[in-house]
A and B are shown apart, each in its own frame.
Chain A
């Protein structure tokens, strides 16, 4: 099993690279072969990736969330999986390049530096923790994707406004669809963060003696969750749309990203495992 894990560690960046390459060829070069193979290639990559994560969990006897590089692999998988769901839901198949390149970068870094640890703190062996971390990461992956679609929206918006009718204009889906994809990602992200917070609130007090509701990471996540919730509510009630809401989705992601980074580096107390 160890050999298989090692093979997958090397194979995954290559698989992500091929997938990103196929999506790029389909977008920029209109290659018919790439258009046919890109989605099956993505699904195959995700299947290998899922097997890899399960194998690691089984062989090392803990969910792969004990080091930053294990987490990165889960982030890569979350981005890929969240994108696959969005592609399936919206039937828009030509924006994968812009999203999956993130998964490729995360998995490559992970594969280079990942260590095979069998000895970890007992608290990290819980499967509830696995659900908590996975849904949190899926949530963050989804809001990252929403920011990418927000960014693509703004690019196309300005290209149309200024009568530039190049590749961006030709190949991207229409503005309404990009907006819909971005909003859909936010809804996914918000749902997963809800699960992560709920599971966290059930599990954390039981797992840690010195648990505190004032933990910075907990406060940060709840803040991000509330911000997206309020945004979705505002869209529903006030009817915000178009450029404004796309800018908000990018700002919200930037705020989430920086707050989490700062909290992780400077503040986290019990909520830090590596």
Chain B
């Protein structure tokens, strides 16, 4: 398999280096158009904040490129394309060939190569970036089949393992915890104290889960107004947040303050006013914003960063325990892909074609043998064998003489022959 992968990711380079090779959609289009033809017959590039990877199928039938293209040259081309020579060096990039490159792509798609294990957002990015290459006509039957298998790996990982389950970010874990207390978030309201990044992300996730109402309180009122404009909801005065406690079910606090923004007495008063309906509070401020003693009040659930970290650690551990199962899926799909690829080689196809014809011949001879006298039976066998040989002579020669054709053409031809005669259906690509 003439496949090469060259790339950079979070394991080989820090963010400030990898970001230098990050490509926009337009840059990806330009780069694949540039690489198509020389040295690749098919190629595509995936670029995210954590990785930029080039996958290319080189053409062994084109003159001096019998040998694979020079890997260092490819690395240099990528670096030069982004004019990143001052900060990115060859050593930051890795390369893989043949089935190793495929295995790597499958691992990326399954989320076990992600910075956060099980994050398979990458799958849709692979698809989007592949489409860019397709639109530039840089992809062909091999890469299309490879993408199909890659997608299959991602899908199987999601359905057959639990590697994508359980929150692994502070904001998701907070929402997950809220869902363990309340059954229907659309009937609940939340108060966001502080307009910081984590608080905002949490509010976004709560919105995603259909929270019934959102209030934002911030010392700088304009910031609260901005956030409300972006996320919906209502901005409230920072001084009024103690009164708000009686009317909301979820509180997310992330302000910088040297004293408690919410005291135990505030919560006690609020609980009385709200007839002791459960109140869930997440304190992600450092130092803490809410008096930890408030957790002792009945029906109050107060969690700080330590509690949230415990959830995240537990979930990450569970995800890690799924890696062996994901590796099995990767291996199964790799074997299937390799089988498909091998089935497109000339000799196995000729062998399968001949076996198929011989089978038909034998069946017909056996069916009709009793119509012939004993002395003619040997002749029948001989004549039918000759007919089959003659019929297969030209197709066999044509298949064998396809050396000057490109890999792409050869694969297409073999694919047609195989589907036309229904050869080894189990090895044919899935639709």
Residue positions of A touching B, CB distance < 8 A: 30, 156, 160-161, 163, 165-166, 169, 173-177, 180, 238-244
Contacts and interface: CB of A to CB of B under 8 A. Distances in A.
A194 to B, nearest CB: 28
A232 B382 CA distance: 94
A176 B183 contact: yes
A242 B277 contact: yes
A156 B306 CA distance: 19
A110 B42 CA distance: 73
Contact of A165 (B162, B183, B310): B310
A244 B306 CA distance: 28
B268 interface: no
B278 interface: yes
6 contacts: A30-B162, A160-B180, A160-B181, A160-B301, A166-B314, A180-B183
B72 interface: no
Q: Contact residue range for chain B? A: 20 to 34
**The 5 nearest A-B residue pairs measured at CB:** A163-B307, A176-B183, A242-B299, A239-B275, A177-B183
A38 B307 CA distance: 34
Contact of A163 (B275, B276, B303): B303
Interface string B341-356: 0000000000000000
Given A175-B182, A176-B278, A244-B298, 11 more contacts: A156-B180, A165-B311, A165-B314, A174-B180, A174-B181, A180-B183, A238-B275, A242-B298, A242-B299, A243-B299, A244-B276
Nearest to B165: A170
B276 A174 contact: no
A70 to B, nearest CB: 39
A156 to B, nearest CB: 8
B295 interface: yes
B177 A242 contact: no
B179 interface: yes
B295 to A, nearest CB: 6
Contacts of B180: 156, 160, 169, 174-175
Contact of B183 (A174, A238, A243): A174
B276 A242 contact: yes
Contacts of B179: 174
Given A242-B299, A243-B299, A163 B306 contact: yes
A165 B315 CA distance: 10
Interface in B274-306: 275-278, 295, 298-299, 301, 303, 306
Contact of B278 (A165, A175, A238, A239): A175
A243 B307 CA distance: 21
Contacts of B301: 160-161
Contacts of A180: 183
Contacts of B181: 160, 174-176
A173 B179 CA distance: 9
A243 B271 CA distance: 13
B295 A161 contact: yes
Contacts of B306: 163
B233 to A, nearest CB: 23
A23 to B, nearest CB: 20
Interface string B260-281: 0000000000000001111000
A160 B177 contact: yes
Nearest to B307: A163
Contacts of B278: 175-176, 241-242
A180 B181 CA distance: 12
A241 B310 contact: no
A161 B179 CA distance: 14
A118 to B, nearest CB: 51
B371 to A, nearest CB: 56
Nearest to A177: B183
Quick one: which of B182, B183, B298 has the most chain A CB within 10 A?
B183
A175 B182 CA distance: 6
A98 B299 CA distance: 24
A156 B184 CA distance: 18
A241 B303 contact: no
Nearest to B313: A165
A174 B298 CA distance: 17
A266 to B, nearest CB: 38
Interface string B145-187: 0000000000000000010000000000000010111111000
Contacts of B299: 241-243
Nearest to A180: B183
Nearest to B275: A239
A203 B277 CA distance: 44
Given A161-B295, A163-B306, A165-B311, A241 B183 contact: no
B430 to A, nearest CB: 23
Contacts of B303: 163
Most buried by B among A160, A243, A244: A160
A30 to B, nearest CB: 8
B311 A241 contact: no
Nearest to B184: A176
Contacts of A240: 276
A173 B277 CA distance: 18
Nearest to B274: A239
Given A174-B183, A175-B180, A176-B183, A243 B298 contact: yes
A241 B277 CA distance: 7
Nearest to B315: A165
